[in-house]
Amino acid sequence: MLASQCLCTNLRRAARGVSRHYDGALDGFGINVAQYSLLCNLQRLDQPSISSLADAMGLDRSTLGRNLRVLEGEGLVRLVEGDDLRNRLVLLTEAGAERLAAALPAWEAAQQKLIDRLGAEKRETLLALLDELA
């Protein structure tokens, strides 16, 4: 592979590698890294609207909607009407919370493996740089 000085190319390649790492850790739980992240955000935000969940995750509503339909089909989330018909809320079901709890140790082990690989100082630097770019 040819080395590239392009930030976009390198960030995307790194993101794919990190996603593969976490997806591997989630094998056997029936969810992938994007779905795990979505479930975590649902748990953290406690019944957000689709728009506020999309904003929190940095996704457009259509991408989020496709992911939500898959999780809804598996009974992990439920969509309900909000205060008005234009506002739908997303709820983490009991099955979704159980799936999230079951996958958490595998997620934490994957997280620790990357932290060990980078070291604490590089981890903090990376997080600061990523936050700046986001």
Residue 89: CATH number of its domain: 1.10.10.10
Q: Which residues contact 3 (CB under 8 A, 6 or more apart)?
A: none
- pLDDT recorded at residue 17: 96
Q: Which residues contact 14 (CB under 8 A, 6 or more apart)?
A: none
Q: Which residue bears the tokens 């709890």?
A: 101
Domains in the chain: how many in total? 1
- pLDDT recorded at residue 1: 53
**What are the tokens at 51?**
């728009």
11 within some domain: no
**What are the tokens at 80?**
């309900």
Q: Pick the closest to residue 69 from 94, 90, 100, 98 (CA basis).
A: 90
Asked if 109 and 25 touch (Cβ cutoff 8 Å), the reply is yes
5 within some domain: no
**What are the tokens at 36?**
């795990």
**What are the tokens at 10?**
């390198």
- pLDDT recorded at residue 81: 87
Q: What is the pLDDT of residues 51-77, one digit of tens each?
A: 999 999 999 988 999 999 999 999 999
Residue 85 has pLDDT above 90, yes or no: no
Q: What is the pLDDT of residues 4-39, one digit of tens each?
A: 889 999 999 999 999 999 999 999 999 999 999 999
For residue 46, the enclosing domain spans: 19-133
